[in-house]
């Protein structure tokens, strides 16, 4: 039986925020990764393959580190300590694809997919073929580079989140990502400038407006974030089941900012 740590969210009786007590509930490309807070409607999670609210990743010059292990503590607020102990790797039927040419091609495809919408549908078809061949994204464990503490505090219909990178052992990082994702069913994006749907939302496009939101129209649930001083805000959505099923926002925080606070408004 799956166990959850529940954080009360005073919006409506049907909504709650919960932590999975382990990383085994992840799907697709996030399989094995630690998640942040996940939105539930009744007893059903609506995060899809998304990693939830308030999940860090650390960018170094040569790689990005993720977390597969974490501890959860409750004092005046809930604090989850994410150990930065894994990197992304492509595997074929469970075996690591350790080929420089293949990695270079994959990196080029990923960059093209992100910045050039004309080729996105073609690259999506390539990804589908890769999945059929048994090629997928996995997470390779490495020695931990330290932890990133993330605290979570509900305040009415807002979730207050603070990210602290001061406990990282390797200080030579170039930035910190903080992901805020639920499922791709949050398929309507709005800000002061535009309204976008489905694939028009893009894959990590920078948000220029003061505030932005994503809405699950079927369930009538919206979450919103704000552009914060000292960080950059990006939006994204990808749906390619069973690999990808997420929609959300990501802050990119420069390394000199050790503590970063923001809120997620949920309606």
- Which of 11-25, 84-98, 181-195 is most confident? 181-195
pLDDT of residue 243: 76
- Residue 115 pLDDT greater than 80, yes or no: no
Among residues 28, 183, 202, the alpha carbon closest in space to that of 113 is found at 202
Please determine, for residue 69, whether its predicted confidence score (pLDDT) is greater than 50.
yes
Question: Structure tokens of 138?
Answer: 């996995």
Report, as an integer, the average pLDDT of 15-28. 71
Residue 31's pLDDT band, with cuts at 50, 70 and 90, is confident
Cα 112 from Cα 102, distance rounded (Å) = 15
* CA nearest to 36, candidates 88, 87, 78: 78
Range scoring the smallest mean pLDDT among 26-40, 89-103, 128-142, 206-220? 89-103
Binned at pLDDT 50, 70 and 90, residue 97 comes out as low
Closest CA to 13 of 40, 36, 37: 40
Confirm if 74 and 8 have CB atoms less than 8 A apart: no
Q: What is the DSSP letter of 21?
A: S
Each residue's pLDDT tens digit, 198-234: 989 988 899 999 999 999 999 999 999 999 999 999 9
The set of residues, in sequence order, having a beta carbon less than 8 Å from that of 16 and lying 6+ positions away, is: 6, 7, 8, 9, 39, 40
Give Cα 193 to chain centroid, integer Å: 24
The second-level CATH assignment, the architecture, of 4-266 is Distorted Sandwich (2.70)
Query: How confident is the model at residue 102, as a pLDDT?
Result: 42
What is the C-alpha to C-alpha distance for residues 150 and 114, in angstroms, rounded to an integer? 28
- Residue reference for tokens 């994006």: 189
Predicted pLDDT at 135 = 47
Please provide the average confidence, as pLDDT, over all residues in the chain: 83
User: Count of CB atoms within 10 A of residue 143's CB?
Assistant: 8
Contact 104, 145 (CB under 8 A): no
> Domain locations in the chain?
4-266
> Which pLDDT score is estimated for 100?
55
pTM (predicted TM-score): 0.83
Amino acid 62: pLDDT? 83
């Amino acid at each position: 039986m799956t166990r959850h740590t529940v954080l009360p969210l005073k919006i409506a009786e049907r909504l709650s925020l919960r932590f999975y007590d382990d990383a085994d509930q992840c799907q697709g490309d996030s399989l094995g990764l630690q998640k942040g807070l996940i939105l539930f409607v009744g007893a059903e999670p609506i995060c899809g393959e998304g990693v939830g609210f308030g999940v860090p990743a650390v960018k170094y010059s040569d790689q990005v580190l993720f977390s597969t292990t974490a501890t959860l503590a409750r004092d005046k607020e809930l604090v989850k300590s994410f150990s930065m102990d894994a990197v992304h790797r492509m595997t074929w039927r469970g075996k690591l694809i350790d080929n420089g040419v293949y990695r270079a091609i994959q990196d080029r495809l990923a960059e093209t997919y992100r910045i050039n919408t004309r080729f996105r549908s073609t690259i999506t078809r390539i990804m589908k073929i890769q999945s059929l061949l048994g090629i997928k994204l996995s997470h390779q464990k490495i020695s931990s580079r330290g932890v990133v503490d993330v605290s979570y505090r509900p305040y009415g219909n807002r979730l207050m989140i603070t990210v602290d990178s001061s406990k990282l052992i390797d200080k030579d990082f170039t930035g910190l990502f903080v992901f805020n994702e639920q499922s791709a069913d949050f398929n309507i994006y709005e800000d002061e400038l535009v309204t976008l749907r489905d694939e028009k939302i893009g894959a990590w496009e920078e948000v220029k407006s003061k505030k932005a939101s994503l809405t699950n129209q079927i369930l009538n649930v919206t979450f919103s974030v704000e552009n914060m001083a000292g960080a950059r805000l990006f939006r994204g959505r990808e749906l390619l089941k069973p690999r990808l099923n997420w929609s959300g926002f990501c802050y990119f925080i420069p390394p000199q900012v050790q503590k970063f606070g923001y809120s997620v408004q949920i309606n």
